[in-house]
């Protein structure tokens, strides 16, 4: 199935095998580091895109950027929330699998590099089967694309890392971002789905507000009664998907309100500013279940580019068959015994794509 748009075109070229992922080229990369190097690399990408060789350019740039050193002390504010997710018809091979969601890094706003490193390290230390990155990697500057990809390329999952783009990503350079993520081995879902196990699907849509999101195309290859997970940066996907589908939707976008004050309810801020009713946590509609992650970074003008009463979040979802979980409702996993290699600050109550 052909997916429209320049981002999808570049990603499809990579999937077609024009360049093998993980085999970077080194020619044409200037030896300097820093802003000048990123600017030169962006110019190189545009030059090679025009010449029909974007994947090779992305490989070269992703390989050339040195990942900054992680922070020495853990960031005290990140909360890790755990959730049991009972699923009817979950394949045995996925029963007990863990999925970690990281969202809204917003590199370029508020100097969040240390926080991004910490989020990536914490997500990897949880030992997940899958990691899902649900958009807004950058705030809006294309110069932040390659540095943030360099940072998130360090995330580790036992099986696979997936991503979708957010609205802020489309304000920068979404073609560069999607291509660089793919070059780093992260599977970018652009209005399409993959079958993680027989009968269980993971779909992803481009941003519904500023991108070319198309939920019908994203779910076209998913049978109507098949269980699965849908990645959508914008939580309004809950209102746009057939409520008879047994899907779990993972979103971000809202930052949980970002600044939560007693006299300004976050739902009102999100409704007026973001045009969504879904601020944080679990929401249901028919057989659909939505979880809205608070994200990691911040956005906004200087006085508002901060978090107040709304800490950054990493979400951990434990996929369980309904027979094991006892019922069909997602719930916090405060009492769930599970493996972890790092202490937690907080535990709260297209077409089908063939993966290599």
Q: What is the pLDDT of residues 239-281, one digit of tens each?
A: 999 999 999 999 988 877 666 667 667 666 656 666 777 887 8
Note the pLDDT of residue 18: 34
Looking at the structure, tell me whether residues 216 and 349 fall in a common domain. Answer: yes
Q: Does a structural domain hold residue 288?
A: yes
Query: Closest Cα partner for 193 from 214, 167, 166?
Result: 214
- Tens digit of each residue's pLDDT (9 = 90 or more) over 177-208: 999 999 999 999 999 999 999 999 999 999 99
3-class DSSP assignment, residue 328:
coil
Q: Is residue 291 part of a domain?
A: yes
Our count of domains for the chain comes to: 2
Angle subtended at Cα 254 by Cα 203 and Cα 207, rounded to the nearest 5 degrees: 40
Among 136-145, 153-162, 234-243, 254-263, which is the least confidently predicted range?
254-263
Q: Same domain, yes or no, for 262 and 154? A: yes
Q: Are 100 and 226 contained in the same domain?
A: yes
159 part of a folded domain: yes
Q: pLDDT band at 354, cuts 50/70/90?
A: low
Predicted local distance difference test score (pLDDT) of residue 349:
28
Look at residue 86 in the predicted model and tell me its pLDDT.
Answer: 96
What pLDDT, on a 0 to 100 scale, did the predictor assign at position 277? Answer: 79
Structural domain containing residue 166 = 79-353
- With pLDDT > 70 as the criterion, what percentage of the chain qualifies? 60
| 102 and 161 housed in the same domain | yes
- What pLDDT is recorded for position 6? 55
Are 134 and 274 found together in one domain? yes
Q: Are 121 and 210 found together in one domain?
A: yes
Whether residue 330 sits in one domain with residue 209: yes
Is 346 a residue whose pLDDT tops 70?
Answer: no
Question: pLDDT tens-digit profile of 29-68?
Answer: 333 333 443 454 455 455 545 555 444 445 545 454 444 4
State how far the Cα of 36 lies from the Cα of 255, in Å rounded to an integer.
Answer: 32
Residue 70 resides in a domain: no
pLDDT at 225 over 90: yes
> For residue 289, is it left (φ>0), alpha (ψ between -120 and 50) or beta?
beta
Residues 108, 173 within the same domain: yes
**pLDDT recorded at residue 28:** 36
Instruction: Based on the fold, state whether residues 336 and 269 are members of the same structural domain.
Output: yes
């Amino acid at each position: 199935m052909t997916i429209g748009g320049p981002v999808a075109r570049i990603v499809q070229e990579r999937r077609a095998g024009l360049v093998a992922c993980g085999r970077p080229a080194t020619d044409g990369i200037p030896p300097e580091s820093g802003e000048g190097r990123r600017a030169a690399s962006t110019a190189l990408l545009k030059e090679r895109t025009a010449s029909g060789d974007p994947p090779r350019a992305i490989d070269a740039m992703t390989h050339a950027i040195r990942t900054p050193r992680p922070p020495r002390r853990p960031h005290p504010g990140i909360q890790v929330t755990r959730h049991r997710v009972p699923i009817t018809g979950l394949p045995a091979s996925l029963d007990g699998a863990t999925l970690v969601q990281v969202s809204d890094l917003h590199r370029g706003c508020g100097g969040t590099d240390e926080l991004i490193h910490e989020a990536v390290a914490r997500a990897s230390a949880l030992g997940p089967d899958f990691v899902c990155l649900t958009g807004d990697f950058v705030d809006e500057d294309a110069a932040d694309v390659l540095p943030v990809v360099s940072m998130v390329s360090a995330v580790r999952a036992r099986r696979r890392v997936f991503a979708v783009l957010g609205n802020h990503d489309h304000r920068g350079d979404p073609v560069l971002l999607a291509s660089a993520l793919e070059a780093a081995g992260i599977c970018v879902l652009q209005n399409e789905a993959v079958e993680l196990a027989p009968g269980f699907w993971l779909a992803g849509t481009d941003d519904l507000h500023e991108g070319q999101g198309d939920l019908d195309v994203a779910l076209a290859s998913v049978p109507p009664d098949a269980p699965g997970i849908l990645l959508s940066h914008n939580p309004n996907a809950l209102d746009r998907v057939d409520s008879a589908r047994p899907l779990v939707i993972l979103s971000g976008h809202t930052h949980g309100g970002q600044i939560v004050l007693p006299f300004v309810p976050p739902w009102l801020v999100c409704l007026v500013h973001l045009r969504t009713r879904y601020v944080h946590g679990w929401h249901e509609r028919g057989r659909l279940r939505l979880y809205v992650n608070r994200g990691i970074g911040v956005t906004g003008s200087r006085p508002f580019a901060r978090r107040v009463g709304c800490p950054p979040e990493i979400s951990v979802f434990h996929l369980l068959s309904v027979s094991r979980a006892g019922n069909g409702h997602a719930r916090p996993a405060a009492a769930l015994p599970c493996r972890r290699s790092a202490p937690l600050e907080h535990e709260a109550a297209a077409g089908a794509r063939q993966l290599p």
